[in-house]
């Protein structure tokens, strides 16, 4: 285990034990990674975006330091950080929608959103709702999408964070994307038609 990773685990354990100062010591170790995640997430946003990388990271820090989360490990920390960044971006998207109701934001596919790490506000809100449904159905698949799309991790980083193989991550991601595509397209699974009354063949 590299020194930073070992230190992160130690400080999270101390924070969980009630040492508030440990969280302040933790931030310099994870700050660059959080900035990288936020920067990736904003990279494809519209020109003139009013949110900045440092603003997202600082807001995430304030929400994390005031939280009552009992950290399990480094993977848990980055998963929760991704959730917090997601909430910040969703809150921002909701505000944009209120300011520009009926603006007709361009739709993007889930694949485009995954690759670009961004989506127009209306699409982002729909994706957030679909992701909530996925998480209720399968928490790990929801976390995978969250880490990749809202947390900005690469496939390799997400697999490492969750402690699973790259092959497992790719398999579960395919299933998660299929579920989300169905949800976003509004296509419900087709049900087999009931046989005619009287048992006719």
pTM: predicted TM-score of the whole model, two decimal places? 0.63
CA distance 15 to 27: 12
Q: Which of 101, 100, 102, 97 is nearest to 129 (CA)?
A: 97
At 103-150, the pLDDT tens digits run 444 444 455 455 434 444 446 778 788 888 999 999 999 989 888 877
At 68-115, the pLDDT tens digits run 787 877 777 887 887 888 788 788 877 766 655 444 444 444 554 554
Q: How far is CA 67 from the centre of its chain?
A: 18
> Do the Cβ atoms of 108 and 123 come closer than 8 Å?
yes
* Burial of residue 127, with CB atoms counted within 10 A of its CB: 0-12 exposed, 13-18 middle, 19 or more buried: buried
193 Rama sector, left if φ>0, alpha if ψ -120 to 50, beta otherwise:
beta
Q: Which of 54, 56, 81 is nearest to 69 (CA)?
A: 81
At 4-49, the pLDDT tens digits run 778 888 898 888 888 888 888 998 888 888 887 777 766 645 555 5
Residue 30 is encoded by which pair of tokens?
Answer: 């994870």
* 164 SS3 class: coil
């Amino acid at each position: 285990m590299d020194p930073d990773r070992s230190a992160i685990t130690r400080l999270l354990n101390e924070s969980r034990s009630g040492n508030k100062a440990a969280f302040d010591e933790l931030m310099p170790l994870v700050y660059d990674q959080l900035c990288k995640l936020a920067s990736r997430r904003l990279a494809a946003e519209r020109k003139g975006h009013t949110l900045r990388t440092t603003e997202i990271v600082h807001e995430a820090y304030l929400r994390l330091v005031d939280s009552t989360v009992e950290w399990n490990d480094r993977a848990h920390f980055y998963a929760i950080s991704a959730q917090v960044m997601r909430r910040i971006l969703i809150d921002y998207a909701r505000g944009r929608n209120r300011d520009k109701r009926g603006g007709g934001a361009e739709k993007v596919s889930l694949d485009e959103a995954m690759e670009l790490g961004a989506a127009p506000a209306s699409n982002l809100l729909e994706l957030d709702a679909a992701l909530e449904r996925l998480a209720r159905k399968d928490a790990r698949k929801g976390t995978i999408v969250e880490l990749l799309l809202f947390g900005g991790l690469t496939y390799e980083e997400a697999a490492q964070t969750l402690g699973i193989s790259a092959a497992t991550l790719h398999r579960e991601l395919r299933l998660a994307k299929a579920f989300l595509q169905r949800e976003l397209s509004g296509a419900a699974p087709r049900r087999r038609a009931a046989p005619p009354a009287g048992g006719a063949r």
